[in-house]
Amino acid sequence: MNRRDEATRLDSHDPLRAMRDAFALPQDRVYLDGNSLGALPRCVSERVRAVVDQQWGRDLITSWNVHGWVNLPLSVGEKIAPLIGAAPGQVVCCDSISVNLFKLLATALGLRPSRRVVLTCAGDFPTDAYMGQGLHSLLGAERCEMRAVGVGELADALDETVAVLMMTEVDFRSGRRHDMRELTAAAHACGALVLWDLAHSAGALPVDLDDCGVDMAVGCGYKFLNGGPGAPAFLYLAQRHHNQVTQPLSGWFGHAAPFAFDPDYRAAPGISAYQAGTPGVIGMQALDAALDLFTGLEPASLRRKSLALTGFFMEGVAADPALAAMEVLTPTEEARRGSQVSLRHPEAHAIAQCLIAAGVIVDFRDPDIVRFGFAPLYNSFTDAAIALQCLSTVLSAGAYANERYRQRAQVT
Ligand SMILES: Cc1ncc(COP(=O)(O)O)c(C=O)c1O
Ligand SMILES: Nc1c(O)cccc1C(=O)C[C@H](N)C(=O)O
């Protein structure tokens, strides 16, 4: 059976295939970039229209109470919680990952006052280290020292100076998935806390924060949760760490009584204290609607589909002699794989541009990686087969050598 027929067969047996219809995907494109920006759920268009026209347009400021706008950060947080293995009361939806990292890193240093090191994995998405570097400038080297090491050196680097280990579960370049349970236990064994970045996990694979004993986590709403460009992020802090440290972005939405307008800050109890200012209601409502698509779905079913898609794609790459020059960076071992396949080639940028021009939307990561993101809610095996065919044609024809594919855009 050829790959297209095999894809058709797999699609017909896919228990999640009906979910694709919940998305407004363009007919003439194959979208494999949900690991950067999730596709548009139809229910989000409807919700945003209703929020703008009826809630904002007609009910105006009464909507903060009447439509529950004021509670959105907590209510949306509660909708995200089951997707990341968190019991109620520990997740709030607000701000961006970057901003939430600042709050949590400061909290971690406050919870471990005799330690100063934030240990990170070299090569993780840079904003995580950037936020730590900002904290270092603010607090000084005696209170905050950033230390980045390779994955293989993490175990040795965990010593009594480390306050917190900050790791991304799925590497944005390679798609490699780290062992959350094992690394969390290793950090705890040396008395450190652990903070996981779930940007490339939430909505694509099961995460068991409570069960793994994780202390803190962040993640974003615009990738596999499909909340739209710039959707609010989320933040998790385990119950046992609540009410001990005042997070530094102490804005009025995290105050115990915001509408008492006290001159002095008094933190709200629990996770609510991790809010800062007024939530972006339209973005929050878009994410809230998008999360409804996960209702009743087992995260394990998403994982099965994601692994089947990435596995099918990787097999196709391995079987095609035209793709021999593309190095597969993503682990073939399922437990170590996220929901993307990354291929390395010296002409990766031009190859990605050729694919996009042919209607297969992928992205490029400097200097030489083409990423194929597989969103289990809406990608099909046929998407993967079309992408394989297109990639094969691009490489066999050498189309990427054309000068017009070499222009670099501002956002890649
Ligand atoms: C792992 C990871 N962390 C953080 C970010 C950035 O998050 P934000 O833009 O919400 O601060 C991204 C992607 O943009 C990411 O892939
Ligand atoms: N957040 C992004 C943005 O504002 C513009 C373009 C891309 C992004 C991304 O999410 C990039 C993504 N974190 C990555 O894995 O590379």
Is residue 42 flagged as an active site residue?
A: no
Cα(37) to ligand 2 centroid in Å equals 7
The SS3 call for residue 176 is: strand
CATH of residue 153: 3.40.640.10
Query: Is 305 assigned a catalytic role?
Result: no
> Residue 399's pLDDT is what?
79
CA separation for the pair 56, 36 (Å, rounded): 29
Q: Which ligand is nearest to the CA of 364?
A: 2
Pocket perturbation via mutation, ligand 1, pick of 33, 121, 127 by most ligand atoms within 8 A of CB: 127
229: left (phi over 0), alpha (psi -120 to 50) or beta: beta
Residue nearest to atom 4 of ligand 2 (CA): 230
Please identify which of the residues 176, 371, 374, 383 carries the catalytic annotation.
371
Per-residue model confidence (pLDDT) at position 411: 87
Kindly report the pTM of this predicted structure.
0.97
In this predicted structure, the answer to whether residue 189 has a pLDDT above a threshold of 90 is yes
Label residue 152 by pLDDT band (50, 70, 90): very high
pLDDT band at 410 (very low <50, low <70, confident <90, very high): confident
**Within a domain: 57:** yes
Of the candidates 231, 259, 294, which is a domain's last residue? 294
Q: Is 260 touching ligand 2 by the criterion CB < 6 Å?
A: no
Q: How confident is the model at residue 405 (pLDDT cuts 50, 70, 90)?
A: confident
Q: Are 190 and 68 in contact (CB under 8 A)?
A: no
Confirm whether 38 is domain-assigned.
Answer: no
Q: Is 172 in the pocket of ligand 2 (CB under 6 A)?
A: yes
The pLDDT score that the predictor gives to residue 403 is 80
> Which of 83-97, 182-196, 335-349, 387-401 is the least confident region?
387-401
In this prediction, residue 400 carries a pLDDT of 82
For the segment 124-142, the average pLDDT, to the nearest whole number, is 97
What order of strands is seen across the sheet that includes strand 327-328?
327-328, 340-344, 369-373, 363-365
Residue found by looking up tokens 């990292």 in the block: 101
Which of these, 103, 102, 75, 106, lies nearest to 91 by C-alpha position? 75
Query: What is the predicted ipTM?
Result: 0.98
Quick one: average pLDDT of 251-273? Answer: 98
Q: Are residues 93 and 142 in the same domain?
A: yes
Select which of 17, 20, 112, 125 is catalytic: 125
Contact 44, 289 (CB under 8 A): yes
Indicate the DSSP class of residue 321. G
Residues 140 and 15 in one domain: no
Res. 1: pLDDT tops 80:
no
SS (H, E, C) 74-91: HHHHHHHHHHHCCCCCCE
Do 246 and 328 have their domain in common?
A: no
Q: Is 384 within the bounds of a domain?
A: yes
Residue 22 belongs to domain spanning: 3-31+298-405
Active site residue 371: yes
Count structural domains, the chain. Answer: 2
Q: Which of 294, 326, 346 is the last residue of a domain?
A: 294
Is 41 domain-assigned? no
pLDDT-derived band of residue 280, with 50, 70 and 90 as boundaries?
very high
84-98, 116-130, 135-149, 388-402, range with the lowest pLDDT: 388-402
Catalytic residue among 23, 172, 222, 236: 222
Shared domain check, 344 and 267: no
For 328, other C-beta atoms within 10 Å of its C-beta total 17
What are the tens digits of pLDDT across the range 56-72? Answer: 999 999 999 999 999 99
Q: Do 201 and 308 reside in the same domain of the chain?
A: no
Per-residue pLDDT, averaged over 283-287, amounts to: 98
